[in-house]
Amino acid sequence: MKVRLGGYNIDTKTIRELAGDRYADMTPEIISASYARISRDPRDVGLLRDEARKDVEKARKSNRAIVFGLGHSSIAEHAVFNFDVMGISRLAVESVEHFRLASFTEKSQRYIRLGRDFVVPEEISKAGMKRDFKGLMRELSDAYQIVYESIRALGAEDETAKEDARYLMPLATTAQFGMTVNARELEYMISRLASHPLAELREFASRLYGVAGRIAPSLVKYPDPTEYFKAVPSVRNEIREIAGNKKSSPGGDGPSAILVDVTPDPDTRLAAALIFASTDMGHSESMRRAAKIGKRRRTDLIASTMKTMKPHDSVWREFENVRLLYEVIVSSSCFAQLKRHRMATIITQDYLPSLGISIPDSVRKAGQVGLLREVASTSGRVYRKISSRVEKARDYALLNAHRRRVLFEINLRELYHFSRLRSDIHAQWEIRQLSDMMCDLAAEMIPSGSILLCGKDSFDQRKKDLFG
């Protein structure tokens, strides 16, 4: 056996310094072109890579023929890009981080004290509402500082004050993140965002292509919006007309969760998957055996897979045979955490001021609920005014405290990962409450399969209670 490092990502400044005059030839297309030939060329892959590096244009021609001619798009996945993204709104980030096959690390509003940096959307400027919008941004920023200082004055930690004061900040607040993405997913991202109703996201798509299309033209080739994606807003309007659109009733001031669907007979289904993978039985016989052994032995069977688990271990893949569908209502602050679980299926509605706002306990203790409600009311007025002129940009005026309804479908294995992270004492308070609700609902329907659903902080005690 031989394992050799074929390459790894380094920053562009280093590449430029090392490459000198050959900087234009330093492209991830070399890796893609050499790997593309592995299936049909018996030579050592190192030699294939040397050949591609010596003749970059030939490598690009090979990529085009294989990726776009033969349709072997997975070859583009071997080319990987790292992007620094700055000056983009928190609202736009939600659409960018929707893409599953990319990695994101974002500047956290939980740990960084915010200033007056915000995006003024093109649509709002063109609608003649720039003055109103900037006035709202100033009011929200001033209120944020007041609430931050009030929470600190109670003796709360600085981290808590920043985490909870941010509920007063708008979705127009600027963000910064690092993104790592392969060329195949990048091209899809560019095409999809080029079709987006918001000008900010169309500009983001254009800037991505301006960089990646120059570096790897043979892999990022089709950046234009498609008719299929451009039609999405009109199709959604058609669906609304067919279904009707009932007004939402106000929610509470924290997260809510309903388990609307779950795999039928989930503990039996899970036990059957474990039997199937551990024996020579077919699935039908595995289901019969899992049903026949009874509840207590099913619990023992499932628990046997967890006896040597540590807090960071994943449960077995068989747990993916059980799926849960939740309907949740969360604030933008909470959704910022929820959206990171991209292996789940996340279907969102628009933010709705009619769903109310989420209110942190620290804001209550600081006596600043009135201020939060006041700026939320001002935000709502600007939101409605923008909506009457340019509906697609109205969400920029909303706060992190405003809420939306989300369908969140997740398999049991992923729910274990979710609970370890989000039910932990170090998690953001709102998503911790949400995770606890989701785990309690799961435990009611899947009593055997959910025996170790908990945060990392309580894992050892929970396991001790189960196994001694």
pLDDT range class, residue 222, cuts 50, 70, 90: confident
The C-alpha R_g of the chain, in whole angstroms, comes to: 26
Q: Is 285 helix (H, G, I), strand (E, B) or coil?
A: helix
Average pLDDT, the chain: 93
What pLDDT score was predicted for residue 114? 79
pLDDT tens per residue across span 330-354: 999 999 999 999 999 999 999 999 9
**Total number of residues shown for the chain:** 468
Q: Is the pLDDT of residue 214 over 80?
A: yes
Q: Where in the chain is the domain with CATH 3.30.1360?
A: 259-329+406-467
What pLDDT score was predicted for residue 85? 94
Instruction: Provide CB contacts within 8 A for 99, sequence distance 6+.
Output: 181, 185, 188, 189, 192, 342
Q: Does domain 82-245+361-399 have CATH number 3.10.28.10?
A: no
Please give the single-letter amino acid code of residue 167.
Y
Q: Where in the chain is the domain with CATH 3.30.70.3180?
A: 82-245+361-399
Full-model pTM: 0.93
pLDDT tens per residue across span 7-41: 778 888 888 888 888 888 888 989 898 888 888 88
Pairing between β-strand 345-348 and β-strand 80-89 as defined by DSSP bridges: unpaired
Instruction: Give DSSP secondary structure letters for 296-343.
Output: HHHHHHHHGGGTT--TTPPPPGGGGG-EEEEEEEEEHHHHHHHTT-TT
Residue 464, Cβ neighbours under 10 Å: how many? 9
Q: How far apart are CA 355 and CA 411, in angstroms?
A: 28
Domain 259-329+406-467: give its CATH architecture.
Answer: 2-Layer Sandwich (3.30)
Q: Is the pLDDT of residue 249 over 70?
A: no
What pLDDT score was predicted for residue 132? 95
Q: Is the pLDDT of residue 178 over 90?
A: yes
